[in-house]
Amino acid sequence: MTQRLTLAIAQLNPTLGDIAGNVALARQARATAAGQGADLVVFSELFIAGYPPEDLVLKPAFQAACRAALEDLARDTADGGPALLIGLPWRDGEALYNAVALVDGGRIRALRYKVDLPNYGVFDEKRVFTPGPLPGPIVFRDIRIGVPICEDIWTDEVTDCLAETGAEILIVPNGSPWWRDKSDERLQIAVARVVETGLPLIYLNQLGGQDELIFDGASFGLSRDRTLDFQLPQFEAAVSIVTYENSGDGWACVDGAIAALPDGEEADWRACVLGLRDYVDKNRFPGVVLGMSGGIDSAVCAAIAADALGPERVHCVMLPYRYTSAESLTDAEECSRRLGVRYDTIPIAGPVEGFEAALAPMFAGRPRDITEENLQSRARGTILMSISNKFGPMVVTTGNKSEMSVGYATLYGDMNGGFNPIKDLYKTRVFALARWRNGGNVAGLKGPAGEVIPVNIIDKPPTAELRENQKDQDSLPPYDVLDAILEALVEDERTVADIVAAGHDIDTVRKVERLLYLAEYKRRQAAPGVKITRRNFGRDRRYPIVNRFRDEGKVAAAPTLTAPKVKTPSTEVVDF
């Protein structure tokens, strides 16, 4: 006799702390699944609470509300419809577990606890949860289902235990955040567990943005022979029905569909769009406002915002001063027109010169320097925040990872804002994304198709336009050089000697390392932004602000493959 199991894979977008809203999503998914004959609806890790809950999960009232919600969902299942496999925090005496519950027939039938609590990179689950004991399978309608939770499959201990205690199939609820190339890494881990256990594996991942983290969905199933049974879309919600049958020689998927996953610039772009959309919508902002300078960073951020929210919810403001070129004015207006967003111009001469007049007695006898340049940026930041206060939209800040790394940004000026969609993108990547968006696939995005970023914005040399004839590369190495050094220092933690051996100029490397450390105090005050790389500033890379260490290790002579050393300008002085 053939056994049959029909699963609904609920790849959904919960909101952290919105227990009632998450329960409503679960009920909607269950109703959809019931209409398609599902036996069991599977949800992602800590779905009722949202993930990651951080210290919110320590509140007894929050724990109690999650438990009450599970009990309500359990009562729903008395109707004879699909059972639910759903995650929540679970208090048992002094222990607080990251748990998954099976509810069926009006009752809580089983609980399983996460064993391997990650405590690296963006994760700090050992801070809030107790590790569970090694689990056995859950028996669901005569089927023995192993339920390792997320990190539990990144080593073999939990899955080996489940296989040894009779599990027939593995269902893995996940809250696995995305970063570039993460999909391949997950697949390799899952394949290893299938090889070791000989069991089919269903990998269900959360969708949505949560502060800096992006959960991309991309849930999948692997057969016992390691082939892909099904693949859900990335960066999209889905409730997908998959059917497994067992004719006596193990469970096999009989009807899985395989969606294509985006990669490269498209994956980065869609992650930025999802992150900004969820940050704005889940925090209930009516829209966003940003400074539109005519440069590449603000143009890309405006395009991301239009794609995320729709042009009608995006307000771009040009804030010109005497150093703003006619070219920038034209480019900013044209980009806004192509995107279909609201565009206004507010000159800043009055406030800047007012500040200078107020400070003139105190600054008497001192030459103009970076102080006056920063007044321009801070005037712009104040105006944008005032628009936000008056009308309610969130300010989008537009600094890229290259600038954030070396402090090429002004506190309380261009760093003002609630969220930064390109915070984890180096400048060279920002250019690449602009080119992709002008010719890429915009299916599912809310902005207009076509060449939305004028080519002149992409082609012209970047400049902050805070003084006459200023260019970024007066102060910084060429961005291809700078970004290569920064990636070696930030993502790879390579030594100065290693970077010089790769062909970079020693003085340039030491200068970049120095600026990287000096800018830590600025980054600590920066807005959150979408995590794209393996190591973003914030949750991943936690450096002290007070830090006198410099890598003074011996450096061997090496051929210089990069551009000549840049001069040291006044803008290298950090503004404490």
**Cβ-based neighbour number of residue 397 at 10 Å:** 28
Rg (CA), the chain: 26
Q: Which two tokens stand for residue 265?
A: 């610039």
Q: Are 44 and 206 in contact (CB under 8 A)?
A: yes
Q: What are phi and psi of 465, to 5 degrees?
A: 50, 50
- Residue 138 β-bridge partners: 145
Counted residue by residue, the chain has a size of 576
Contacts of 563 (CB under 8 A, 6+ apart): 477, 478, 481
The tally of CA atoms less than 13 A away on the side-chain side of residue 108 is 16
Q: Which two tokens stand for residue 191?
A: 């394949």
With tokens 């208090």, the residue in question is 91
Cα 478 to Cα 29, 265, 475, 483, 564, distances in angstroms: 51, 21, 9, 9, 10
Strands 138-140 and 143-146: antiparallel
How far is 361 from 340, CA to CA, in rounded Å?
Answer: 46
336 closest CA partner among 313, 307, 314: 314
- Residue 553: burial class (beta carbons within 10 Å; 0-12, 13-18, 19+): exposed
Q: What are phi and psi of 472, to 5 degrees?
A: -55, -35
Which residues are the active-site residues?
45, 114, 150
The tally of CA atoms less than 13 A away on the side-chain side of residue 495 is 9
Strand order in the sheet with 394-395: 342-345, 314-318, 288-291, 394-395
Cα 354 to Cα 242, 370, 387, 464, 492, distances in angstroms: 66, 17, 20, 21, 46
How far is 282 from 277, CA to CA, in rounded Å?
Answer: 8
316 closest CA partner among 419, 378, 389, 387: 387
Q: Are 167 and 145 in contact (CB under 8 A)?
A: yes
How far is 166 from 152, CA to CA, in rounded Å?
Answer: 17
Q: Are 476 and 464 in contact (CB under 8 A)?
A: no
How far is 76 from 37, CA to CA, in rounded Å?
Answer: 16
**Cβ-based neighbour number of residue 541 at 10 Å:** 15
Strands 394-395 and 288-291: parallel
Query: What's the angle, vertex CA 305, arms to CA 300 and CA 307, rounded to 5?
Result: 95
Cα 396 to Cα 89, 277, 298, 299, distances in angstroms: 33, 12, 9, 12
